Amino acid sequence: MTAKVNVGLIGAGRIGRVHAENLAYRIPEVNFGAVADVFVEAAEKCATDFQIPSHYDDHRAILDNADIEAVVICSSTDTHAQFISEAAEAGKHIFCEKPIALDLAKIDQALNTVEQRGVKLQIGFNRRFDPNFKYVRDSVLAGKIGVPHLVHIFSRDPVPPPIDYVKVSGGIFMDMTIHDFDMARYLIGSEVEEIYATGGVMIDPAIGEAGDIDTAVVTLRYANGAIGTIDNSRKAVYGYDQRLEVFGSEGSLVAANNTPHNVVYNGPESVQSAKPLNFYLERYATAYLAEMKAFVEAIQQDTLPLVTGMDGRIPVVMALAAWKSYRENRPVKLSEIS
Ligand SMILES: NC(=O)c1ccc[n+]([C@@H]2O[C@H](COP(=O)([O-])OP(=O)(O)OC[C@H]3O[C@@H](n4cnc5c(N)ncnc54)[C@H](O)[C@@H]3O)[C@@H](O)[C@H]2O)c1
């Protein structure tokens, strides 16, 4: 029998608590021993809610604990690169939420440390573990729709984030579209070479005043000749809209929204079905669990994690290209960025 993996969690906010619950109750291969958050009340509440033996206000307490083999980094984005480097120096395997950092120099420094120390690093691109999206990818790679020609990704939030969050998020392309950039690569197994991004402020002028946009369309040109679009909005009044299609020479694959139920009401005035699941915590619950199980399995089986550090870096390059394209109103090759 393979030994259990001792895990500590850094950052007990919204996504940290999702991973904490999974680590505590749904992954028997894990000993979940400690949680740290600079806001110690968050660490304490997380420890109480999920029966974690130790909690701290300093992440170093986890990194200095020789019994802990792996850390899950869910603190704010501006801490990720530093914590990855520190954890790698301490010899811990690392799961880190997206994005690694907002600039490439910091990312490269962190990835170098990971490589030098020979620890595993998995980035939190959870959508790869969504059963629908994975089915689409597997079918595309198996040749089911022939040669892929078009990729369409619709990704719209139900409500915009708070303005204070917008200000430090790196903007829509770095914060929101970054998941879609990852999906774009993942779905057809080809790299994107060129990006053209357009967008505007259509939902809340305060988002524009914070230097961001809330609505965007990105077109993608792939190395294998395929063309893609990403369609983003920060506010879809009907809920979290997460759909995609890959169209090819022999057909297409369409992933529709997940709904709380699939009952259709037929009445004299209308035909109605359920709205999409509310937001990412509900929509991707299965994917969050699957990605953490995969991380633990990669440690136990000593295999390469399914989302590597380079998989974390490339969508940041794509986000930087999208901002450049938007500002300069022209297609931008990724080679101009990295
Ligand atoms: N993959 C996904 O679907 C997904 C979803 C949400 C958030 N995220 C990412 O996860 C990260 C956290 O997002 P969130 O929404 O949970 O934010 P959040 O603000 O709810 O939580 C962040 C937590 O980190 C703590 N923190 C900040 N600095 C710290 C430090 N130096 N040491 C220890 N703890 C520290 C904060 O006190 C807070 O409790 C972000 O990078 C975000 O991009 C990913």
- Within 146-265, where are the H helices? 163-168, 171-175, 177-188, 205-209
For 195-223, how does the pLDDT look when each residue is reduced to its tens digit (9 = 90+)? 999 999 999 999 999 999 999 999 999 99
Test site for ligand 1: of 9, 15, 165, 178, most ligand atoms within 8 A of the Cβ: 15
Does the beta carbon of 38 lie inside 6 Å of ligand 1? yes
- Supply the pLDDT for residue 258: 97
Does the beta carbon of 283 lie inside 6 Å of ligand 1? no
Number of Cβ within 10 Å of residue 239's Cβ equals 21
How far is the centre of ligand 1, averaged over its atoms, from the C-alpha of 145 (Å)? 39
Does the beta carbon of 96 lie inside 6 Å of ligand 1? no
Whether the model pTM is above 0.85: yes
Does the beta carbon of 280 lie inside 6 Å of ligand 1? yes
Does the beta carbon of 47 lie inside 6 Å of ligand 1? no
Domain 128-285+315-336 class in CATH: alpha beta
Does the beta carbon of 154 lie inside 6 Å of ligand 1? no
Which residue, chain included where needed, has tokens 């109103």?
329
Question: If you ran DSSP here, which 8-state letter would residue 118 be given?
Answer: T
Q: Order of strands across the sheet with 5-10?
A: 54-56, 30-36, 5-10, 70-73, 93-96, 121-123
For atom 41 of ligand 1, the residue with the nearest CA is 77
Asked if residues 111 and 313 have their Cβ atoms less than 8 Å apart, the reply is yes
For atom 15 of ligand 1, the residue with the nearest CA is 14
How far is the centre of ligand 1, averaged over its atoms, from the C-alpha of 78 (Å)? 9
Question: Domain residue spans in the chain?
Answer: 5-119, 128-285+315-336
Atom of ligand 1 nearest to the CA of 80: 41
For atom 5 of ligand 1, the residue with the nearest CA is 15
Atom of ligand 1 nearest to the CA of 78: 41
**In sequence order, what are the residues at sequence separation of 6 or more whose Cβ sits closer than 8 angstroms to the Cβ of residue 313?**
100, 104, 107, 108, 111
Question: If you ran DSSP here, which 8-state letter would residue 196 be given?
Answer: E
116 three-state secondary structure: helix
- Give 10-residue mean pLDDT values along the chain (338 residues): 89 97 98 98 98 98 98 96 98 97 97 98 98 98 98 98 93 97 97 98 98 98 98 97 98 97 97 96 97 98 98 98 98 95
- Supply the pLDDT for residue 338: 74
Domain 5-119 class in CATH: alpha beta
Q: Helix 285-301 vs helix 14-25: angle between axes, to the nearest 10 degrees?
A: 60
- Supply the pLDDT for residue 197: 98
How far is the centre of ligand 1, averaged over its atoms, from the C-alpha of 15 (Å)? 6
Atom of ligand 1 nearest to the CA of 42: 39
For atom 24 of ligand 1, the residue with the nearest CA is 75
